[in-house]
Homo-oligomer: A and B are copies of this chain.
Amino acid sequence: MGMHARIDAAIEAAIATGQGRTAPARLSSALHYACTPGGARIRPTILMSVAMACGDDQPKLSDAAAAALELIHCASLVHDDLPCFDDADLRRGKPSVHRAFSQPLAVLAGDSLIIQSFGILAAAAPAAPDRALGLIEILSRQTGMPHGICAGQGWESESDIDLSAYHLSKTGALFIAATQMGAVAAGQEAEPWFELGARIGEAFQVADDLRDALCDEAELGKPAGQDDLHGRPNAVAQLGLNGAVSRLNDILSGAIASIPACPGEAQLAQMVRMYAEKLVPAEVLAKARA
């Protein structure tokens, strides 16, 4: 099974842990709807790539970690799309969960997916309890308060924003979770993998700003120009289009340089390069140069 099929299978299995014949049917459907069809599955792909670069000696734990991370990411998208946040009608080219189901079911689907993330990590523990607990601790730290993605969203309710804390928690946190959880699932220490995750997160933020500025709604699968519309701080406004593109390249070089020594170091560098092309496709970059 290739890596993507493996990740998809793990995600499907993780969603199914929240479903069942004796569960409320609409909420069961909303769980699946919220997580499929996947986007690029970037976070679990990074996680799995790191786990494989470190030997992947407990594949069930890597699977659970990848699925847990994607479920909680999807949960955050469902809640971010709610009318009280982005009020987004579309996500990945189809109606957002609260539009397709209802606001109560969107709140509950997000809550359930968060909870399932931790449940599947605990259920995958028997082979390696200490690693499972490490994964739960990282996932909690990078998603909750004071420094996870909840904190990132929370900064948007402050009149005085700490910009570096905002970006690190809003976008960086789940990439830090990806690299650290991949390492821990394979029995390595988390700490040396912080920088790779943080730099990929930074790259993602700049790339997202570029796409938001350069793509239309059909290309994005969600409304375009949202940063400008909501007056959000962004790299294109700060550095201009070309400045943002060079910043992106600098960050990616730094990311590759930060990869800790491990058996699969070279493949991992290759993965970051391929991933950079996915982040901002050549035809979008061409618009920046135009």
Contacts and interface: CB of A to CB of B under 8 A. Distances in A.
Interface stretch (A109-117, A199-207, A233-241, A262-270): A109-117
Contacts of A132: 133
A119 B146 contact: no
Contacts of A123: 137
Given A146-B18, A157-B105, A111 B26 contact: no
A213 interface: no
A150 interface: yes
Interface string A132-165: 1100110111011111101101111110001001
Contact of A157 (B26, B122, B156): B26
A139 B115 CA distance: 9
A162 B27 contact: no
Contacts of A114: 111, 114-115
> Ordered nearest first, which 5 A-B pairs have the shortest CB separation?
A119-B140, A23-B146, A115-B144, A27-B154, A18-B145
Interface of A: 18-20, 22-28, 31, 75, 79, 82, 84-85, 101-105, 107-108, 110-112, 114-116, 118-119, 121-123, 125, 129-130, 132-133, 136-137, 139-141, 143-148, 150-151, 153-158, 162, 165
15 contacts: A23-B146, A24-B158, A27-B151, A28-B145, A79-B111, A84-B104, A84-B107, A85-B104, A102-B157, A111-B111, A112-B145, A118-B140, A119-B136, A119-B140, A122-B140
